[in-house]
């Protein structure tokens, strides 16, 4: 580890108060001579400045130095800003638009990722199955598009679906075809050559579609077929998301040949007022260890998770419960945490996730798409839109029993370099401290925070209704929070994205801990989401407060308490980019000091290229 430079407090900079304004400069009346000299000086200075400006901009069209009386800063062109926004270690193809992850699978040493892809433009449309492969889920090769709309039953889009790898090595895909009238029909396809490790060529089944919408279900409320698995009774099953009225649900099918599917009378599960369940995912988790389970696992020591993506809301919800395979029914452990009303996979931008059981490392990994929140014009100018999270392992949080833990795959740590350690930094109430780490645009940060226990016990302030999303963000000060890190901040804090904890003492004497990301001042330019994201995070008695942040240009992934609560955000700074992006520690609480310890690594760029044949 390198020894960092000592910290310096920023003097007279605004804290995290977005109502802060610098006082206007004072004016005085000057003698005539002084005014003339000042005027001439001003004109000369102006011309000198203009010449320097022109020379600089001719030499380097991207960066222009602007000076004001106090300090110099860099103003970036629109083109530079847009090119900075491209991520360095998050999956995204070279260009155009990606959407739901589809049918991840492992075959002959390669992780395959398929995804909703528009090959022609950085907006939704022409939905096809894009295809990339990786050995480590960090470095990717982009392959030719696997399936495009060609048939009457999918001419408006080869929509989302899954792949199944059978025990005999056969592989097939199930997907939703978007027909000319936009009705959603279920289809089958298979790789042409199983001995090709890259599974380049796919062929659609001759007898498609294999399933039409059942009676009582809307023609456009029936999509995204799952991986097929075999239950303890030897029957093969497939599920799909749907809705009746406003009740979201999972339909269950049985099959004997993987081509003909029989719908069961009752859904696996349904919840009123949760609307259409898109991209449903269903998988077992172990109650005894962190080793993931294949879909077929069943019996004691196992729970089953249902995940659904709420149409039109951009939110993925999960619930933990018990699966009765004999009756094809699932029951939530806690009805208050049922599907779509309890817990979310991620409280920021993360949608349509799909998981893979990795037979190599015995783990379950999930990806969702992390959409843009700036304007479509920006997407068009950039030539790409949407990125994926770094693949996340999913395990049951056996300490709480109520939550899942979502955590970046260990392979991402291979990109770490130049680690620095900061130990027990004292943060007084109202302090903000820059961390001298050099460039701060590609980072992996692990931070722990220790709150002054005496202050916590002593505070009489209670707040039973605090919520990240309804708060004023990091500017809202309470006795015991907020404190955390401000990422992608410029030196003057005119742009910053604080990720923080906020502890609220409750009237009954307990506390609730909130984990939030404040996007209110992330960008001085357009961002369709000037919001505060977040939720509560359980903190057990023997636990410290910990967060991990992955900062990668326009995406920030935040994981609290080992991944119990996760927040992913897209941010589009205009000033806090390239070498002007800085990292700050802050404590904006009024009634407690906080001790912070951190490990911070720079992150190398992943290799994401077209595969050359
Ligand atoms: O790409 C289709 C898959 O995406 C999912 C979930 O993300 O469904 C999204 C959905 O809406 C898209 O299409 C709309 C145009 O019809 C567009 O307005 C919207 O912005 C898009 O997100 O796609 C289907 C088909 O169009 C529609 O029913 C959904 O709302 C997934 O369920 C699809 O398989």
Q: Is the peptide bond before 209 cis (omega within 30 degrees of 0)?
A: yes
> Is 69's pLDDT higher than 70?
no
Closest to 239 measured CA to CA, from 222, 258, 256, 253: 253
Q: Which atom of ligand 1 is nearest to the CA of 279?
A: 32
The per-residue pLDDT for range 351-397, each reduced to its tens digit, is: 999 999 999 999 999 999 999 999 999 999 999 999 999 999 999 99
pLDDT in tens, 210-264: 999 999 999 999 999 999 999 999 999 999 999 999 999 999 999 999 999 999 9
* Whether residue 60 has pLDDT greater than 50: no
Q: Mean pLDDT, to the nearest integer, of 518-529? A: 94
Is-cis flag, bond preceding 482, omega within 30?
A: yes
Q: How confident is the model at residue 74 (pLDDT cuts 50, 70, 90)?
A: confident
**Taking residues 33-44, what's their average pLDDT?**
45
Contact criterion met (CB below 8 Å) for 97 and 123: yes
Q: Average pLDDT, stretch 104-123?
A: 98
* pLDDT at residue 72, rounded to an integer: 52
Q: Is residue 504 a contact partner of residue 478, using CB atoms and an 8 Å limit?
A: yes
- CA-nearest of 217, 212, 284 to 248 is 217
Residue 378 CB partners (closer than 8 Å, separation 6+) = 82, 372, 526, 572
> Which ligand 1 atom is the nearest neighbour of the CA of 311?
30
Alpha carbon of residue 310 to chain centroid? 16
Q: Which two tokens stand for residue 533?
A: 């994201």
Decide if pLDDT at 134 tops 60: yes
**How confident is the model over 264-311, as pLDDT tens digits?**
999 999 999 999 999 999 999 999 999 999 999 999 999 999 999 999
Q: What is the pLDDT of residue 66?
A: 41
Distance 278 CA to ligand 1 centre (A): 9
* Residue 14: CB atoms within 10 Å: 16
Percent of the chain past pLDDT 70, that is, above it, reads 88
Active-site option among 100, 281, 328, 444: 100
Please answer whether residues 95 and 122 qualify as being in contact, where contact means their C-beta atoms are separated by less than 8 angstroms. Answer: yes
CA distance linking residue 270 with residue 247, whole number of Å: 6
Report which of 249, 213, 252 is spatially closest to residue 236, judged by C-alpha positions.
252
Residues whose CB falls within 8 Å of the CB of residue 36, separated by 6 or more in sequence, listed in order: none
Q: State the chain's mean pLDDT as an integer.
A: 90
ipTM of the complex: 0.99
Distances in Å between the Cα of 143 and the Cα atoms of 115, 131, 132, 388, 609 are 12, 5, 5, 17, 9
Q: Are 303 and 284 in contact (CB under 8 A)?
A: yes
pLDDT in tens, 160-219: 999 999 999 999 999 999 999 999 999 999 999 999 999 999 999 999 999 999 999 999
Residues in Cβ contact with 310 at an 8 Å cutoff, skipping those fewer than 6 apart: 248, 274, 275, 276, 277, 278, 316, 317, 340
Give the pLDDT confidence score for residue 142 in this predicted structure: 98
Confidence grade of residue 75 (pLDDT, cut at 50, 70, 90): confident
How does pLDDT run across 153-164, given as a tens digit for each residue? 999 999 999 999
Q: Is the pLDDT of residue 59 over 50?
A: no
Q: Which of 221, 223, 386 for a ligand 1 pocket mutation test, highest count of atoms within 8 Å of Cβ?
A: 223
Atom of ligand 1 nearest to the CA of 127: 1
For residue 395, the cross-strand partners are: 405
Distance CA 272, CA 450 (A): 42
pLDDT at residue 52, rounded to an integer = 43
For residue range 453-484, what is the model confidence (pLDDT) as tens digits?
999 999 999 999 999 999 999 999 999 999 99
Task: Tell me which residues have their CB closer than 6 angstroms to ligand 1.
Answer: 99-100, 116, 124, 127, 159-160, 176, 178, 220, 223-224, 278-279, 311, 352
Neighbours of 121 (CB within 10 A): 15
Instruction: Reply yes or no on whether 527 is catalytic.
Output: no
The confidence score (pLDDT) of residue 280 equals 98
Residue among 117, 278, 279 whose CB has most ligand 1 atoms within 8 A, to mutate: 278
Task: Please report the pLDDT score of residue 320 as a whole number.
Answer: 98
């Amino acid at each position: 580890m390198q020894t960092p430079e000592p910290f310096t407090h920023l003097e007279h900079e605004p804290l995290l108060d977005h109502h802060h304004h610098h006082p206007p400069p004072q004016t005085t009346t000057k003698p005539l001579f002084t005014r003339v000299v000042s005027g001439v000086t001003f004109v000369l200075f102006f011309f000198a400045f203009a010449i320097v400006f022109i020379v600089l901009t001719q030499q380097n069209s991207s960066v222009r130095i602007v000076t004001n009386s106090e300090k110099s800063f860099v103003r970036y062109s629109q083109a530079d800003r847009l090119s900075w926004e491209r991520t360095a270690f998050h999956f995204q193809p070279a260009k155009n638009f990606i959407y739901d992850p589809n049918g991840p699978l492992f075959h002959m040493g390669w992780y395959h990722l398929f995804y909703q892809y528009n090959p022609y433009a950085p907006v939704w449309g022409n939905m096809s199955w894009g295809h990339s492969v990786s050995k480590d889920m960090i470095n990717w090769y982009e392959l030719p598009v696997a399936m495009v709309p060609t048939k009457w039953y999918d001419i408006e889009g080869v929509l989302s679906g899954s792949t199944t790898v059978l025990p005999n090595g056969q592989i097939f895909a199930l997907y939703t075809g978007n027909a000319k009238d936009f009705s959603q029909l279920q289809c089958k396809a298979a790789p042409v050559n199983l001995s090709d490790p890259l599974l380049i060529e796919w062929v659609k089944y001759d007898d498609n579609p294999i399933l039409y919408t059942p009676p009582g279900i809307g023609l456009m409320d029936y999509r995204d077929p799952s991986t097929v698995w075999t239950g303890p009774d030897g029957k093969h099953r497939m599920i799909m998301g749907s809705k009746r009225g406003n009740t979201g649900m999972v339909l269950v099918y049985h099959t004997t040949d993987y081509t003909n599917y029989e719908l069961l009378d009752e859904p696996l599960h349904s919840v009123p007022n949760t609307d259409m369940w898109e991209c449903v995912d269903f998988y077992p988790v172990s109650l005894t260890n962190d080793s993931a389970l294949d879909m077929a696992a069943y019996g004691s020591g196992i729970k089953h998770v249902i995940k659904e993506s709420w149409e039109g809301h951009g939110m993925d919800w999960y619930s933990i419960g018990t699966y009765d395979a004999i009756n094809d029914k699932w029951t939530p452990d806690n009805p208050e945490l049922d599907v779509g009303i309890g817990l979310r996979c991620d409280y920021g931008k993360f949608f349509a996730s799909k998981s893979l059981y990795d037979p190599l490392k015995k783990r379950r990994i999930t990806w969702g798409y992390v959409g843009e929140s700036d304007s479509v014009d920006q997407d068009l100018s950039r030539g790409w839109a949407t990125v994926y999270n770094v693949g996340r392992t999913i395990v049951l949080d056996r300490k709480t029993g109520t939550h899942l833990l979502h955590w970046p795959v260990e392979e991402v740590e291979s990109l770490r370099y130049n680690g620095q350690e900061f130990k027990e930094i004292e943060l007084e109430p109202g302090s903000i401290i820059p961390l001298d780490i050099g460039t701060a645009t590609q980072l992996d940060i692990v931070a722990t925070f220790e709150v002054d226990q005496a202050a916590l016990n002593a505070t009489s302030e209670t707040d039973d209704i605090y919520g990240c999303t309804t708060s004023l963000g990091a500017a809202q000060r309470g006795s015991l929070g907020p404190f955390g890190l401000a990422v992608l901040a410029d030196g003057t804090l005119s742009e910053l994205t604080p990720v923080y904890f906020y502890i609220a003492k409750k009237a009954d004497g307990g506390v609730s801990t909130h984990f939030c990301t404040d996007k209110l001042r992330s960008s001085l330019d357009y961002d369709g989401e000037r919001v505060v994201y977040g939720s509560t995070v359980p903190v057990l008695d023997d636990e410290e407060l910990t967060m991990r942040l992955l900062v990668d240009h326009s995406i920030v992934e935040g994981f609290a308490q080992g991944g119990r609560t996760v927040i992913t955000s897209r941010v589009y700074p205009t000033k806090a980019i390239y070498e002007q992006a800085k990292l700050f520690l802050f404590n904006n609480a009024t009634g407690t000091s906080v001790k912070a310890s951190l490990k911070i690594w720079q992150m190398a760029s992943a290799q994401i290229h077209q595969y050359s044949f």
